[in-house]
Chain A
Amino acid sequence: MAGILKKISGKELAVVTAVKDRNVLVDFSASWCGPCRMLHPQLEQLAAEMAGWDFYEIDVDEAQEEAGKLGIRSVPTMIAYSGGREIERLVGFRDKASLKTQLSGIAGK
């Protein structure tokens, strides 16, 4: 099923990342961040293409507590989860093709 990039709140983070048997990518972004705005459409396209992954987006200004706990100090930061566990952290903009390669590479971890 083709997925979408869904915007969630900080409180929903624990729930959406805990899903078993699926990989989850959460993009921590901010409205004032240029590279985040560029990243958004890349993730939208990936969400439609990568069936094994769920894609979410969180605005760090609305989730300061969670972002703080995770030690996020730069946007965009993307965290990949598997079974509720952080398996990879990607900081900064990446284009769709390189993201896809990277995500496919870590999916097996």
Chain B
Amino acid sequence: MIGLVAGIVGQPSGPAGRRDVVIAGGGPAGLTAALYSARYRLSTVVLEGYQPGGQAALTDRIDNYPGVPGARGHELASLMRSQAVEAGAEIVPARAVRSVHSEEGFATETDSGTFESPVLVIATGAAPKKLGVPGEERLYGRGVSYCATCDAPFFRGRRVLVVGGGDSAVKEALHLAGYASSVTVVHRRDALRAEPVLASKLLKNPVCGVIWNSRLLEIRGGDGVESVLLETPGGPRELEMDGVFVYVGRRAETDPFRGLVELGDDGTVVTDGTVRTSREGVFAAGDVTGRELRQIITAAADGARAAAAAYDYLQHHPAAV
């Protein structure tokens, strides 16, 4: 299969320079924006950062993207990627460091040179939040993980804790149940926030259990995770554990755009409800915005809208090109 692997290995660090549209982020939002933008015949480059395909590539099964039941995350992501490339978009493994407004539009500095464009699409998505508990940082990679799809095979026949109660926590707990001998979900409320289909699957799974109304206080261990300390309604409780998977939400990746566009308190890009930001010529799409639903389909839809808005903007500002 062509896609992520071929793209990453085969491509030199992208030729910096000027394009009609620069898209920061190579997840579902950025790749869809690129597909549409290339089909509008705009010269288009995607700066895909370090995670080609975005978070979508980091989950095993996707059951709610219409038309593709039971899609594998990395396959769906690499199909989106190759479709954008076939349409004429360029994808480069560059990470945006800072975008500034210049006389001729926007200049986006990356670790592989500066990209200039009259239109910028911000689609840098979100990254997992850390808990900030003792042991979390020291034992990262030694039992602490933020990606079950990446690390589940290390926990074959072992005991794992999943922190969180939303869609991601529950989905990844179910994925881990295919490997681990026990999966314990610790959730700070008395009901899961995850969609009912997922929640009931978890509650029915014989390998999985939930500890309600509780918080993780500390992760303990020497060379690897050995136990966790929880605060439960019945008092503190220490449980022997081999792994801890953290799914307590995500933080928008907007540092490079601070000062260029208005950001909300939670760091997401403020939009007018669709894709327009506080600055003309800059559009935002996907998880980087503060939308209520953060899914592949909504990210893709935003991407399409951002490209359409970019096209429209360039029609009305021909001098910008």
Contact = CB atoms under 8 A, between A and B. Distances in A.
Partners in one complex: yes
Contacts of A71: 142, 223-224
B8 A75 contact: no
Nearest to B73: A34
Interface of A: 30, 32-35, 37-38, 40-41, 60-61, 71-75, 77, 89, 91-93, 95, 97
Given A72-B141, A72-B154, A73-B143, A38 B52 contact: yes
Contacts of B83: none
- CB-based closest 4 A-B pairs: A91-B141, A74-B141, A71-B224, A71-B223
Contacts of A74: 140-142, 145, 150-151, 154
A70 B8 CA distance: 29
Contacts of A32: 153
Interface of A is mostly: loop
Contacts, number: 64
B155 interface: yes
Interface of B is mostly: mixed
A40 B4 CA distance: 13
19 contacts: A34-B58, A34-B150, A37-B5, A38-B8, A38-B93, A40-B9, A72-B142, A73-B141, A73-B154, A73-B155, A73-B224, A74-B140, A74-B142, A74-B150, A74-B154, A77-B141, A91-B140, A92-B140, A93-B50
Nearest to B152: A32
A35 B223 contact: no
Interface in B106-155: 111, 140-143, 145, 150-151, 153-155
A73 B145 contact: yes
A91 to B, nearest CB: 3
Nearest to A74: B141
Contacts of A30: 153
B8 A37 contact: yes
Contact of B150 (A35, A61, A89, A97): A35
B154 A41 contact: no
A95 B151 contact: no
Given A34-B57, A38-B50, A89-B141, A73 B8 contact: no
Interface in B142-188: 142-143, 145, 150-151, 153-155
